[in-house]
Amino acid sequence: MEPIGQSIARLWRRAGDHPPLAYAMIAAAVAAAWAFHAVAPSGQADFSLLPFLLPVLLGAALAGFAGGSFATLLGLAAGALAAGADATGANVAHALLFLLVALAVAGVGERMRRHYQDAEAANVELRAREARLQSIMETAPDAIIVIDEGGLIQSFSATAERMFGWRAEEVIGANVDMLMPEPDHSRHDRYISRYLETGEKRIIGLGRIVTAKRRDGATFPIELAIGEVQAGGRRCFTGFIRDISRRQRTEARLQELQSELVHVSRLTALGEMASALAHELNQPLSAISNYLKGSVRLLEESVIDAARIRDAVDKAGDQALRAGEIIRRLRDFVTRREAEASPQSLRKIIEEASALALVGLADQGVRHTFSFDESADCVEADRVQIQQVLINLIRNATDAMSEMSTRDLTISVAPHGEELTLVCVADRGPGVVPEIAPRLFQPFVTSKPDGMGVGLSISRTIVENHGGKMWFEANPTGGALFKFTLPRCKAASAR
Ligand code: ADP
């Protein structure tokens, strides 16, 4: 059997929806009051109509002002019946007073009823909204994570659970920085407080490609968009996260194909150019040979004509310079594209390049660490070209570490003198093979069975076109350090 309280609440709700039932209940209440009035000790004439106020309150609560008025009239009628023939002036005054008080009670009851109905409607609407939100959170293809001003996770959608490998109840209340690799992991709190202090939007409403960390520590590229909500005087941030590893894998493959194509066409062009230049080179080379042969003959004569010999050797030297000039033109042709430098944020370039280079490497368990010095962040660079350099260095580093048990890759950015920024890509691999170290930056030098050996030579050319330098050092803690410099921005800030 259900508890009596619940039965009353159910009856009450039904009566609210069914006016006949409500009016029957009001009439029953008036009848009960009348019975009470009949048995109550008489002589208390002043209070004799008091019991009829309760049905008025009930009527107003059940059926509004109309219900209250109905109970008032019934009460008055019952009072009149009880008074019978002796309708004294006192009784009439008493009845009028009752009428006034009862109408006031009915009015208050009506207002209470409206408040109750409004609150109920708002509640229903709220519950519907919550259900809608919940269904969005559960089915959205993007992971949705809500955090508060302190960076603590407030909600974690079903997609987020699948994407990161954490269950909502394990992460709610924890700091969202647990889902990021370094340096964001230790800086995220500062990012939020800087935004709260300055209002300067670096990611909110803009969307960016960054790197995220799964439960098992593997990192993967994501597209992150953040929205801001003010609710109940508190500020929350909602993050929409899309795993773009698959998309980037396709893009990376495309890029690879493209760069292979560029490479092949470069080689073809190089071949054509070489045969064309072979003719040109033939000329100075045979001239050199003739001048030198002539000089030898002059040297063999009994009287040595030093002036003629010097002249011939000088001319041979000029021809050698001409041959050198032709070869230089050939090199210029191969690496022709001018760098289109503009102010760029190295942090952004590196974040994107490492996300791109990471594609397909997530399973290899490479741990990325970044260390940025903000003062060296802005550089004059061609974004795409410098990304090519970085992708090259990161891929070389991960290749080098493929056999190692610890695979740490550190990319750091620091000022280098007054005008340059130094970028260092450090790995913990076996280091550069000593035999090829002196020729590392020459084209076609490789130690890999399927390597082309052009990555480093093109990278160095790109860096030098920017006005920087590129070199390598042995990593004191094992592995290789590839370093390059770029000119820092003069005044304008990075895009
Ligand atoms: P590829 O990668 O096609 O061989 P690169 O010009 O990029 O061409 O690299 C040339 C060579 O330099 C590589 O074959 C490798 O022997 C060496 N090398 C490059 N980076 C590293 C590194 N991080 N650790 C060890 N050796 C490296």
Q: Provide DSSP, 114-180.
A: HHHHHHHHHHHHHHHHHHHHHHHHHH-SSEEEEEETTSBEEEE-HHHHHHHS--HHHHTTSBGGGGS
φ and ψ at residue 301, rounded to 5 degrees = -70, 155
Alpha carbon of 394 to ligand 1 centroid (Å): 10
Which one of 403, 446, 482 would you pick to mutate in the ligand 1 pocket, going by the greatest count of ligand atoms within 8 A of its CB? Answer: 446
Closest-lying ligand 1 atom to the alpha carbon of residue 429: 24
Domain at 140-243, CATH homologous superfamily: PAS domain (3.30.450.20)
The answer to whether the CB of 447 is under 6 A from ligand 1 is yes
* Residue 405 DSSP symbol: S
Identify whether the C-beta of residue 153 lies closer than 8 Å to the C-beta of residue 101.
no
Which one of 396, 424, 458 would you pick to mutate in the ligand 1 pocket, going by the greatest count of ligand atoms within 8 A of its CB? Answer: 396
> What are 393's two structure tokens?
């260095």
The answer to whether the CB of 427 is under 6 A from ligand 1 is yes
Alpha carbon of 427 to ligand 1 centroid (Å): 12
Per-residue pLDDT of the chain (495 residues; tens, 9 = 90+): 556 777 777 777 777 777 888 888 888 888 888 777 777 655 544 556 677 888 888 888 888 888 888 888 888 887 777 766 565 666 777 778 888 888 888 888 888 888 888 898 889 888 888 888 888 777 777 889 989 888 899 889 888 998 999 998 999 999 999 999 888 888 888 888 888 888 777 777 667 788 899 898 888 888 888 888 887 778 888 889 988 876 666 676 667 666 665 555 555 555 666 666 676 777 788 889 888 998 999 898 888 888 989 988 998 898 888 888 877 766 665 555 555 788 999 998 898 788 777 665 555 677 888 888 889 999 999 887 888 889 889 889 988 998 888 888 999 999 999 999 999 999 999 999 998 999 998 877 888 887 777 788 888 888 988 899 999 999 898 899 999 999 999 864 545
Identify whether the C-beta of residue 31 lies closer than 8 Å to the C-beta of residue 50.
no
pLDDT for 188: 85
Cross-strand pairs, 243: 222
The answer to whether the CB of 429 is under 6 A from ligand 1 is yes
**Identity (one letter) of the amino acid at 195?**
Y
The answer to whether the CB of 400 is under 6 A from ligand 1 is yes
Closest-lying ligand 1 atom to the alpha carbon of residue 452: 3
| Nearest residue (CA) to ligand 1, atom 26 | 432
Separation CA 180–CA 338 (nearest Å)? 37
| Nearest residue (CA) to ligand 1, atom 8 | 453
Exposure class string for 122-140: b at 16+ Cβ within 10 A, else e: eeeeeeeeeeeeeeebeee
Greatest Cα pair distance in the chain: 171
Separation CA 57–CA 97 (nearest Å)? 16
Which one of 395, 433, 456 would you pick to mutate in the ligand 1 pocket, going by the greatest count of ligand atoms within 8 A of its CB? Answer: 456
Handedness of CA 251, 221, 388, 475 (dihedral sign): negative
Identify whether the C-beta of residue 334 lies closer than 8 Å to the C-beta of residue 266.
yes
Residue-range domain boundaries for the chain: 4-135, 140-243, 252-338, 340-495
The answer to whether the CB of 396 is under 6 A from ligand 1 is yes
- For domain 340-495, give the CATH number: 3.30.565.10
Closest-lying ligand 1 atom to the alpha carbon of residue 425: 23
Closest-lying ligand 1 atom to the alpha carbon of residue 457: 6
**Half-sphere exposure for 229 (CA within 13 Å, toward CB):** 11
The answer to whether the CB of 298 is under 6 A from ligand 1 is no
> What are 389's two structure tokens?
């350099």
Alpha carbon of 411 to ligand 1 centroid (Å): 17
> What are 392's two structure tokens?
């090259």
pLDDT for 270: 59
> What are 309's two structure tokens?
């010999």
Supply the angle between the helices 4-17 and 19-39 in degrees, to the nearest 10: 120
Separation CA 402–CA 409 (nearest Å)? 12
The answer to whether the CB of 106 is under 6 A from ligand 1 is no
Alpha carbon of 261 to ligand 1 centroid (Å): 21
Alpha carbon of 398 to ligand 1 centroid (Å): 10
Alpha carbon of 199 to ligand 1 centroid (Å): 45
| Nearest residue (CA) to ligand 1, atom 23 | 397
Q: With CA atoms as reference, report the closest residue to 393 among 340, 448, 459.
A: 459
- For domain 252-338, give the CATH number: 1.10.287
pLDDT for 362: 53
The answer to whether the CB of 401 is under 6 A from ligand 1 is no
Alpha carbon of 341 to ligand 1 centroid (Å): 27
The answer to whether the CB of 360 is under 6 A from ligand 1 is no
Q: With CA atoms as reference, report the closest residue to 105 among 79, 69, 63, 77.
A: 69
**Which residue stretches of 219-345 are H helix?**
245-300, 306-334
Rg (CA), the chain: 44
